[in-house]
Structure 1
Amino acid sequence: MSEFSLLSEPIRRYINDKRWEALRPIQSAAIKRIMGTEDHYILVSRTASGKTEAAFLPILSKVNFKDEGVQVLYISPLIALINDQFARVEDLCRYMDVTVTRWHGEANITAKKRLLKQPEGILLITPESIESLFCNRPENARALFSKLKFIVIDEIHTFLGSDRGMHLRSLLSRIGELATGPKPRIVGLSATVGDYEEAKRFTGDPANTKVLIDPTAKGIKAYFKFSKGNEVAYQPDFIAELYRHVHDRKVLIFPNTRGNAEELAVKLKKMAERKKGHPYYFSHHSAVDKDLREYVEEFVKNNKRHNFCIACTSTLELGIDIGTVETVIQVDATHSIASLIQRVGRSGRKEGEESKLLLYATENWSMLQSFACWELFKEQFVEPVYGQIKPYDLLFHQTLSILKETNGLPRQLLVQKLHNNAVFTAFTGAELDFLLDDMIKRDFIEDLRRELIVGVEGEKLTSSRDFYSMFASPVMLKVIHAGNTIGELEVDPAIVIGDNVLLAARIWKITDIDFNTKKVYVTPANDGKKPKFSSGTGDVHPRIRNKMLEILATEFTSDEADSSAIESINEVRSMFREFRLNGQSAVRPVIVKSDTIDIYTFTGTKINRTLHFLIQTLGNKVIMDDKTSRISIEGKAINLQELVNNIRYQLPAIREHVRATMETSNPPFPVNKWGVWLPIDLQVEYVLNNVFDVPGTAAFLEELQLVTPIHEDTFVKE
């Protein structure tokens, strides 16, 4: 029996009316498994391979939508993705007369009220809106979630290993507790899962979760170029060269920060004006006003005739449908292979088309990292992700959320609820009691003897709209021109009247700032004053850095690179020409200068961060440059073997060193949004498990051999 024949008659009619020639591989596999078993599934297939339909075709065929209540919950990481998928799912559901409703802060209120009055059909929602329902409308949460048959999680890779993902896992467990029948089945969708076991754990039932993988590779035509830049701004020659690649086609440009996206959009737009080219140059990122972002999305999606260029960040990295994109340009290295895969997949989305990637680097080490990511991508490596085993910060948050939802619980029942939650199973009873006692002592919880309720301090947290998310929201100022909102700027003491800022692909002059109403008033800038913009980075996996070392240890060539790119790699290689490097060993080069030594670790960001901290505990003045994987130690005569031994000696005491540092008035470690409310011992645990990589550092130090150039003394591992 063919998979097509398994589908319900309305869905078969939908496929026929759309004139599909055949089901795609991931769709055939998903139809057979979802309809023929009761398992959970993770569907892994390249971008634009029909994953959304792969989930919904069998689900719509299997579910009886005449049953009472909402039957399918679709969870998305982005409101914009919900709005995009709403049209696709609604189109499918027209053939079955199934109601589809969006639920987020910007969704239609009338549609929400209608759904609450008569829960039915399919609900599209974000994790934060689920949390809000549990806290503020627990009776509505029960009405909406208690009859679910399926939960579809889009772009599930964005949740894996993250605080937001742990939050969602907890919410899924709480939804499961509401079920009046069998718990809902979960179907996750992704193009870039690096750790299938973590994805299976996400469902809360890994033993009954299967991963369906479509290994069909999409053709990708990639080319690498180098154009010398600096840390201040993109150079005119680079902008001119970039313009030649974007002026006559449909292009997405991915730099790595919002500021860089704005700079590219503005400079390319100015060049187009000078050369009388097309005017369709945009920026797209989270600080651009929602209406402007949606205008850009609609323009490029419905545009058939005009070329365009969008300089964007991760807001267009995910699966929002923006129609035809001919080329993706990545400017400087992505910090992860998963991000590179998502971005490349935005071009060549039509069946039979290949994706086109042009990767420009403006700095030698960025070029080297770009090649490393690309080589690992060809080896089919994607960074594995690991969630916290004991997320105390989430435990604090969800304890308050559950007490808010239930309006209070006996302590024993609260502990039981926490233990039943799939995210908190690793906690012992003593660990739960320790946190609960601390929360009671500090008035986050009030103990009424017969039950625990939200305390005075807890009420301050739970009554805020900020309570629904796991990520900290910076204070933002609305940017206003002629009564229209352009976007937002993060509050920064450096923002002053008279400054120029980049936003929405234009340069604006700040004319007034009202911190009380959180508004910045601007006019178009014409004075040529250099605008300000922001920057940012991400953690890099050790495997990428090790691949960078492998490239330097060989005579690297590539048919996908021009001579400028190869020469850029050779410039970095020349720094280490006097070392006998072997990319497969633990040898790491050390360059001794007059007053410092530079250790090039070629390892991941978290291990570098741990090494940097441990060396500081030895009393050394040390600087870490993660971009070059370099740790610089001030000192004229440092015995390298003694240094390594001392670092190894300090590692077992890192917990005490972290605690001592965090007890200072200005701790240097980032502790996440809810971690700041934990007692100091648990904040230390958070830092050790999230900021640092203690096991990875121990393994790295065990094998580490620091070497100086071959004509100098060599210090090797004992």
Structure 2
Amino acid sequence: MGRATALHQGEKRLVFLESRRKSEELSYELRELGVETFLSHSSLAVEERRRSERAFAESRNCVIVATSTLELGVDIGDLDRVIQVDSPRTVASFLQRLGRTGRRSGSERNMLFLVTERNQLPLAAAILLLWERGFVEPVAPPPQPRHLTAQQLLAVALQEGSFGAHCWRSWWGDLALMDDGEEVLQYLQNEEFLAADGDLLMIGPSAEKNFGRRHFMDLLSSFTVEKQLRVLAGTKEIGFVSPLALPPESERGTKPLVLNGYGWRVLDVDWRRFVVDVHPEPRRGDVRWTSGPIALSFELMRAQRDVLLGATPGVTLSARAKKALAGLREDDQADVSANALVIRDKPAGRELWTWAGLRANATFAAALGAPVASMDNEYLALEGIVSLDDIRRANVAEAVPAIDRAAVDALKFSAALPPGLAARTLAERFTDRPGAQQIAAASWEVLQAEGTV
């Protein structure tokens, strides 16, 4: 990958990747090849990112490697070329990145895709296919953010000292955020997050216990971030890493970290201060951050299905890309059909190749109520045989995916919501009912080991 992105010497290149870990690996490789390289991602110290952006803006023959941090809002000067390693996850991201080029008079917008993993080729082709069709993801706020309803009620009590139990709506008018305010307010009173003095409500003991640290600082910010260790080289802040990135204490001398594209030997970890002291290390290291399943949209997955059925975006493909795409279509032909969605019967149950995205699959699984063996963006594997009539009769109108209790606990301000309402609040973020409805309404082609029946 490093040699490929070192192409176009003499030009100013911006390389986008989808993960911090891969951006670190690529930056290290490019520097090993003698390429002047800068790096920007969300776990680098702000000053390190700004220093990279300033240096890149002033340089000429160089590369800056970035995640979505450089999609918009940061001035890095004129660019000659954008290189996308693997595929972005949305058309909107693709357009933002493409728009980084072609700003100089006489130049054109351009992007080179470099696909390094098998499953990324049809995904990249699907992004380009949607772009050609004029599709861009709509901007939609998270549905029913009831945890913020609770936060707003508590914040007013903190700000004003108290507020009237029967005139609280005057603070927000008809703002949809407060549609479930009565239910949330009642819970806050019942659980002593709010204490009553006649008709007045004020901060109660449960709010003090859950949110009172550092002068209610937690109550005054409406988002959470992953807990990361601060990495220091002497007094210089390099960035932040997940505790998962640290090698065992016995291996710290042989397994360095990589951060900001350089190797670092871990000298000491202060868990009380959550600080890692490091020293430069000439050997390549490793780093990682926590991540969960990536939910791709219904539209993107259906476009990927179109690609596997033969649709090809009208862009220039290399000979290797054409050969790889043909191979993918041959390998995956049992998972797609031009006339219907495919069900593959297996000894343990049925695989529904929905090509609908993880949210739609999870929503449809909840509507079916059948045991789920596994699911991804492409398919839903069910335990046992679910009939076609069961699939068609699935009622997705009120279906919400099952949510792990630990995920609910991680939702900020969830403690200030009734447990069932907190779970539903989070579940609705992972719900795609229109996509699930299309699964239920689809025509199906059932394949067994012997062939189509």
* TM-score between the two structures when normalised by the length of structure 1: 0.57
In the aligned structure 2, how far is the partner of 1:703 from the partner of 1:496? Answer: 51
Change (3 A) 1:423 1:438: same
Give how far 1:554 is off: 2.5
Give how far 1:595 is off: 5.0
Find the structure with the greater CA-based Rg.
1
Unpaired runs of at least 5, structure 2: none
Give how far 1:288 is off: 0.8
The partner residue of 1:549 within 305, 318, 338 is 305
Give how far 1:315 is off: 1.2
CA-to-partner distance for each residue in 1:483-535, whole Å, 9 max, x for gaps?
A: 3111111333855331422211112121211011111011223455x523236
The answer on whether the counterparts of 2:354 and 2:439 sit within 8 Å (CA) in structure 1 is no
In the aligned structure 1, how far is the partner of 2:438 from the partner of 2:311? Answer: 29
1:568 maps to what in 2?
324
1:624 maps to what in 2?
375
The partner residue of 1:432 within 181, 186, 206 is 181
Residue 477 (1) aligns with residue 229 (2): yes
1:644 maps to what in 2?
391
SS in 2 for 1:253: strand
Residue 325 (1) aligns with residue 88 (2): no
1:269 maps to what in 2?
31
In the aligned structure 1, how far is the partner of 2:394 from the partner of 2:334? Answer: 30
In the aligned structure 2, how far is the partner of 1:386 from the partner of 1:443? Answer: 34
CA-to-partner distance for each residue in 1:517-561, whole Å, 9 max, x for gaps?
A: 111011223455x52323646432211111111222226374411
In the aligned structure 2, how far is the partner of 1:493 from the partner of 1:239? Answer: 22
In the aligned structure 2, how far is the partner of 1:670 from the partner of 1:309? Answer: 41
In the aligned structure 2, how far is the partner of 1:474 from the partner of 1:407? Answer: 32
2:119 maps to what in 1?
365
In the aligned structure 1, how far is the partner of 2:69 from the partner of 2:336? Answer: 43
Structure ranking higher on relative contact order (CA contacts 8 Å, 6+ apart): 2
1:355 maps to what in 2?
109
Amino acid at match of 1:376: L
The answer on whether the counterparts of 2:397 and 2:433 sit within 8 Å (CA) in structure 1 is no
CA-to-partner distance for each residue in 1:305-337, whole Å, 9 max, x for gaps?
A: x32211111111112111011111111111111
Amino acid at match of 1:423: A
2:204 maps to what in 1?
455
Residue 675 (1) aligns with residue 414 (2): yes
CA-to-partner distance for each residue in 1:50-96, whole Å, 9 max, x for gaps?
A: xxxxxxxxxxxxxxxxxxxxxxxxxxxxxxxxxxxxxxxxxxxxxxx
Amino acid at match of 2:122: L
Change (3 A) 1:467 1:679: same
CA-to-partner distance for each residue in 1:382-421, whole Å, 9 max, x for gaps?
A: 1113334532111111111222222211112223223x15
Give how far 1:259 is off: 0.8
Give how far 1:603 is off: 1.0
The answer on whether the counterparts of 1:607 and 1:693 sit within 8 Å (CA) in structure 2 is yes
Residue 255 (1) aligns with residue 17 (2): yes
User: What is the correspondence of 1:235-634 to structure 2 with a 5 Å cutoff?
Assistant: 238-245=1-8, 247-272=9-34, 278=35, 280-303=36-59, 306-388=60-142, 390-418=144-172, 420=173, 422-424=175-177, 427=179, 431-459=180-208, 460-461=210-211, 463-492=215-244, 495-497=247-249, 498=252, 499-527=255-283, 531-534=286-289, 536=291, 538-554=294-310, 556=312, 558-577=314-333, 581-582=337-338, 587-593=340-346, 595=348, 597-612=350-365, 617-620=369-372, 622-626=373-377, 629-633=378-382
In the aligned structure 1, how far is the partner of 2:68 from the partner of 2:315? Answer: 29
SS in 1 for 2:231: strand
Change (3 A) 1:271 1:592: farther
The answer on whether the counterparts of 2:143 and 2:429 sit within 8 Å (CA) in structure 1 is no
Amino acid at match of 1:625: D
| Aligned-residue identity in percent | 22
Give how far 1:423 is off: 3.5
The answer on whether the counterparts of 2:86 and 2:120 sit within 8 Å (CA) in structure 1 is yes
Change (3 A) 1:613 1:311: farther
In the aligned structure 2, how far is the partner of 1:240 from the partner of 1:432? Answer: 57
Give how far 1:468 is off: 3.3
The answer on whether the counterparts of 1:445 and 1:458 sit within 8 Å (CA) in structure 2 is yes
1:177 maps to what in 2?
none
In the aligned structure 1, how far is the partner of 2:270 from the partner of 2:7? Answer: 42
In the aligned structure 1, how far is the partner of 2:20 from the partner of 2:145? Answer: 30
In the aligned structure 1, how far is the partner of 2:432 from the partner of 2:409? Answer: 14
The answer on whether the counterparts of 2:38 and 2:56 sit within 8 Å (CA) in structure 1 is no
1:41 maps to what in 2?
none
SS in 1 for 2:188: helix
Unpaired runs of at least 5, structure 1: 1-237, 273-277
The answer on whether the counterparts of 2:357 and 2:376 sit within 8 Å (CA) in structure 1 is no
Amino acid at match of 1:315: T
Amino acid at match of 1:605: L
Give how far 1:364 is off: 2.6
The answer on whether the counterparts of 2:188 and 2:194 sit within 8 Å (CA) in structure 1 is yes
Give the CA RMSD over aligned residues.
Answer: 2.9
In the aligned structure 2, how far is the partner of 1:699 from the partner of 1:670? Answer: 32
In the aligned structure 1, how far is the partner of 2:436 from the partner of 2:334? Answer: 27
In the aligned structure 1, how far is the partner of 2:177 from the partner of 2:313? Answer: 49
CA-to-partner distance for each residue in 1:341-395, whole Å, 9 max, x for gaps?
A: 1111112222442122011111232111111111211222111133345321111
